[in-house]
Structure 1
Amino acid sequence: MADRSDTVGYDDPAGGWGSVKGMSKILAKERNRPAALAQLARQNKPKGFMCTSCAWGKPAEPHPFEFCENGAKATLWDLTPNRCGPDFFAKHSVTELKGWKDFDLEHEGRLTHPMRYHHATDHYVECSWDEAFAAIGAELKAIDPKKAIFYASGRASLETSYLFALFGRLYGHNNLPDSSNMCHETTSVALKKTIGAPVGTSVLDDFEHCDAIFFFGQNTGSNSPRFLHPLRDAVKRGCKIVTFNPVKEPGLIAFTDPQNPIEMATRTSTPISSQYHQVRPGGDVAVLIGLAKHVFAVEDASWAANKVHVLDVDFIAQHTHGFDAFETMVRATDWADIERESGLTRSAIEAAGQVYVEADRTIGIYGMGLTQQVHGYDNVATYVNLMLMKGNIGRDGTGISPVRGHSNVQGQRTVGISEKPELVPMDRLRELYDFEPPMDHGHNTVTAAEAILSRDIDAFVSLGGNFLRAIPDLERVEAAWPDIRLTVQIATKLNRSHLINGKVAYLLPCLVRTEVDQQAGGEQIVTIEDTFSHIHGSIATHPPASEHLKSEVAIVAGIAKATLPPNPNVHWDEWTGDYAKIRKLIEATYPEEFHDFENRMFQPGGFYRGNPARERVWKTESGKAEFTIPKTLSGTAIEDAPGRLRLITLRSNDQFNTTIYGYDDRFRGISGTRDVLLLSPKEIERAGLHKGQVVTLVGDGDDGIDRRVRGLKIIPFDLPDGCIAGYYPELNPLIPLGWHDIESKTPAGKAVPVRIEA
Structure 2
Amino acid sequence: MADDGRDEQPEEHVSGGWGSVSGMAKVFARERPDHTLSTLWRQNKARGFMCTSCAWGKPAHTHAFEFCENGAKSTIWELTSDRCTPEFFSAHTLTELRTWADYDLEMTGRLTEPMRYATDSDTYVRCSWEEAFDGIREHLRALQAPEAVFYASGKASLEASYLYALLARVYGNNNLPDSSNMCHETTSVGLKKVIGSPVGTCVLEDFEHCDAIFYFGQNPGTNSPRFLHPLQEAVKRGCKIITFNPVREAGLLHFINPQNPLQMVTQTPTELSHMYLQVRPGGDISALMGMCKRVFHRDEAERAAGREGILDQAFIEQHTAGIDAFRQAAETASWDAIEAHSGLARADLEAAADVYCEASNVIGVYGMGLTQHVHGSQSIGMLVNLLLLRGNLGREGAGISPVRGHSNVQGQRTVGISEKPELVPLDKLAEMFAFDPPRKKGRTTVEVCEGVRDGSVRAFVSLGGNFVRAIPEQNAMENAWKELALTVYVATKLNRSHLVHGKASYLLPCLARSEQDMQGGVPQAVSIEDSFSHIHGSMGHATPASPHLRSEPSIVAGIAAAVLPSHPKRPWLIWGADYSRVRTLIEETYPEMFRDYEARMFHKGGFYRGNPAHERKWETPSGKAEFTTPTVSSALGVGDAPGRFHLITMRSNDQFNTTIYGFSDRLRGLEGSRAIVLMNRQDVADQGLEAGDVVALASDAGDGVEREVDGLTVTVFDLPRGCVGGYYPEMNPLVPLWYHDQASKTPAAKGVPVRVRRSARAAPLTEVV
TM-score norm. by structure 1 comes to 0.99
Once structures 1 and 2 are overlaid, which stretch shifts more, 388-397 or 36-45?
36-45
Offset from partner CA, 1:598-620 (integer Å, 9 cap, x none)? 00001110000000001000100
Offset from partner CA, 1:522-542 (integer Å, 9 cap, x none)? 110000000000000001110
The answer to whether the 8 Å contact 1:528/1:535 transfers is: yes
Distance of 2:397 and 2:639 partners within structure 1: 39
Unaligned runs of 5+ in 1: none
Q: Which residue of the partner structure matches residue 276 of structure 1?
A: 276
Q: Which residue of the partner structure matches residue 535 of structure 2?
A: 535
Q: CA deviation at 1:9?
A: 4.9
Partner amino acid, structure 2, of 1:704: G
Q: Which residue of the partner structure matches residue 21 of structure 1?
A: 22
The answer to whether the 8 Å contact 1:140/1:563 transfers is: yes
Offset from partner CA, 1:205-245 (integer Å, 9 cap, x none)? 00000000010001011000000000000000110000000
Q: Please give the secondary structure, in 1, of the residue aligned with 2:482.
A: helix
Distance of 1:215 and 1:105 partners within structure 2: 36
Q: Please give the secondary structure, in 2, of the residue aligned with 1:108.
A: coil
Q: Which residue of the partner structure matches residue 583 of structure 1?
A: 583
Partner amino acid, structure 2, of 1:542: A
The answer to whether the 8 Å contact 2:6/2:682 transfers is: no
Distance of 1:676 and 1:459 partners within structure 2: 35
After TM superposition, the structure 1 = structure 2 runs for residues 734-753 of structure 1, keeping only pairs within 5 Å, are: 734-753=734-753
Aligned length: 757
Q: Which residue of the partner structure matches residue 450 of structure 1?
A: 450
Distance of 1:99 and 1:512 partners within structure 2: 27
Offset from partner CA, 1:539-560 (integer Å, 9 cap, x none)? 1110100000000111111111
Kindly indicate whether residue 186 of structure 2 is the aligned counterpart of residue 211 of structure 1. Answer: no
The answer to whether the 8 Å contact 1:2/1:682 transfers is: no
The answer to whether the 8 Å contact 1:420/1:441 transfers is: yes
The answer to whether the 8 Å contact 1:9/1:667 transfers is: no
Task: Identify if the C-alpha distance between structure 1 residues 2 and 64 changes in structure 2 by more than 3 Å, giving closer, same or farther.
Answer: closer
Q: Which residue of the partner structure matches residue 620 of structure 2?
A: 620
Distance of 2:570 and 2:88 partners within structure 1: 39
Q: CA deviation at 1:568?
A: 1.6
After TM superposition, the structure 1 = structure 2 runs for residues 302-381 of structure 1, keeping only pairs within 5 Å, are: 302-381=302-381
Distance of 2:6 and 2:441 partners within structure 1: 53
Q: Please give the secondary structure, in 2, of the residue aligned with 1:535.
A: strand
Offset from partner CA, 1:631-685 (integer Å, 9 cap, x none)? 1010002121111000000000100000000011001111111000000101101
Distance of 1:593 and 1:639 partners within structure 2: 44
Q: Which residue of the partner structure matches residue 267 of structure 1?
A: 267
Q: Which residue of the partner structure matches residue 465 of structure 2?
A: 465
The answer to whether the 8 Å contact 1:37/1:76 transfers is: no
Kindly indicate whether residue 754 of structure 2 is the aligned counterpart of residue 754 of structure 1. Answer: yes
Q: Which residue of the partner structure matches residue 144 of structure 1?
A: 144
Q: Please give the secondary structure, in 1, of the residue aligned with 2:281.
A: coil
Distance of 2:708 and 2:458 partners within structure 1: 29
Distance of 2:705 and 2:548 partners within structure 1: 45
Q: CA deviation at 1:521?
A: 6.1
Distance of 2:223 and 2:476 partners within structure 1: 29
Q: Which residue of the partner structure matches residue 429 of structure 1?
A: 429
The answer to whether the 8 Å contact 1:159/1:583 transfers is: yes
Q: CA deviation at 1:5?
A: 8.2
Partner amino acid, structure 2, of 1:48: G
After TM superposition, the structure 1 = structure 2 runs for residues 558-637 of structure 1, keeping only pairs within 5 Å, are: 558-637=558-637
Offset from partner CA, 1:486-511 (integer Å, 9 cap, x none)? 00000000000000110110000000
The answer to whether the 8 Å contact 2:6/2:719 transfers is: no
Q: Which residue of the partner structure matches residue 101 of structure 1?
A: 101
Offset from partner CA, 1:382-404 (integer Å, 9 cap, x none)? 11111111000011000011000
The answer to whether the 8 Å contact 1:586/1:594 transfers is: yes
Q: Please give the secondary structure, in 2, of the residue aligned with 1:419.
A: coil
Q: Which residue of the partner structure matches residue 134 of structure 1?
A: 134
Task: Identify if the C-alpha distance between structure 1 residues 718 and 743 changes in structure 2 by more than 3 Å, giving closer, same or farther.
Answer: same
Distance of 2:9 and 2:607 partners within structure 1: 44
After TM superposition, the structure 1 = structure 2 runs for residues 42-191 of structure 1, keeping only pairs within 5 Å, are: 42-191=42-191
Q: Please give the secondary structure, in 2, of the residue aligned with 1:73.
A: helix
Q: Please give the secondary structure, in 2, of the residue aligned with 1:181.
A: helix
The answer to whether the 8 Å contact 1:469/1:497 transfers is: yes
Partner amino acid, structure 1, of 2:33: N
The answer to whether the 8 Å contact 1:511/1:517 transfers is: yes
Distance of 1:195 and 1:450 partners within structure 2: 31
Q: Which residue of the partner structure matches residue 764 of structure 2?
A: none
Distance of 2:55 and 2:639 partners within structure 1: 36
The answer to whether the 8 Å contact 1:10/1:667 transfers is: no
Offset from partner CA, 1:550-597 (integer Å, 9 cap, x none)? 001111111111110012210111111110000000000000100100
Q: Please give the secondary structure, in 2, of the residue aligned with 1:528.
A: strand
Q: Which residue of the partner structure matches residue 649 of structure 2?
A: 649
Q: CA deviation at 1:29?
A: 1.0
Offset from partner CA, 1:171-220 (integer Å, 9 cap, x none)? 00000000000111000001111000100000000000000001000101
Offset from partner CA, 1:354-397 (integer Å, 9 cap, x none)? 00000010000000001100000000011111111100001100
Distance of 2:304 and 2:26 partners within structure 1: 61
Partner amino acid, structure 2, of 1:136: I
Q: Please give the secondary structure, in 2, of the residue aligned with 1:387.
A: helix
After TM superposition, the structure 1 = structure 2 runs for residues 693-708 of structure 1, keeping only pairs within 5 Å, are: 693-708=693-708
Q: Which residue of the partner structure matches residue 549 of structure 1?
A: 549
Runs of 4+ with >6 A deviation:
5-8
Q: Which residue of the partner structure matches residue 246 of structure 2?
A: 246
After TM superposition, the structure 1 = structure 2 runs for residues 517-532 of structure 1, keeping only pairs within 5 Å, are: 517-520=517-520, 522-532=522-532
Partner amino acid, structure 1, of 2:461: V
TM-score norm. by structure 2 comes to 0.98
Distance of 1:648 and 1:347 partners within structure 2: 26
Q: CA deviation at 1:12?
A: 3.0
Distance of 1:672 and 1:84 partners within structure 2: 26
Once structures 1 and 2 are overlaid, which stretch shifts more, 524-533 or 634-643?
634-643
Q: Which residue of the partner structure matches residue 488 of structure 2?
A: 488
Offset from partner CA, 1:454-476 (integer Å, 9 cap, x none)? 11111100000000110001111
Give me the CA root mean square deviation.
1.1
Q: Please give the secondary structure, in 2, of the residue aligned with 1:630.
A: coil
Q: Please give the secondary structure, in 2, of the residue aligned with 1:232.
A: helix
Q: CA deviation at 1:8?
A: 6.9
Q: Please give the secondary structure, in 2, of the residue aligned with 1:591.
A: coil
The answer to whether the 8 Å contact 1:256/1:270 transfers is: yes
Partner amino acid, structure 1, of 2:469: R
The answer to whether the 8 Å contact 1:707/1:733 transfers is: yes
The answer to whether the 8 Å contact 1:49/1:539 transfers is: yes
Q: CA deviation at 1:712?
A: 0.2
Q: CA deviation at 1:36?
A: 1.9
Unaligned runs of 5+ in 2: 759-769
After TM superposition, the structure 1 = structure 2 runs for residues 666-685 of structure 1, keeping only pairs within 5 Å, are: 666-685=666-685
Task: Identify if the C-alpha distance between structure 1 residues 5 and 150 changes in structure 2 by more than 3 Å, giving closer, same or farther.
Answer: closer
Distance of 2:401 and 2:367 partners within structure 1: 9
Q: Please give the secondary structure, in 1, of the residue aligned with 2:592.
A: helix
Q: Which residue of the partner structure matches residue 479 of structure 1?
A: 479
Q: CA deviation at 1:307?
A: 2.9
What percentage of residue pairs aligned between the two structures are identical?
Answer: 60
Q: Please give the secondary structure, in 2, of the residue aligned with 1:394.
A: coil
Offset from partner CA, 1:324-346 (integer Å, 9 cap, x none)? 11111111101111000000000
The answer to whether the 8 Å contact 1:521/1:577 transfers is: no
Offset from partner CA, 1:666-722 (integer Å, 9 cap, x none)? 011111110000001011011111000000100001221100000000000000011
Distance of 1:696 and 1:639 partners within structure 2: 21
Distance of 1:546 and 1:568 partners within structure 2: 33
Partner amino acid, structure 1, of 2:32: R
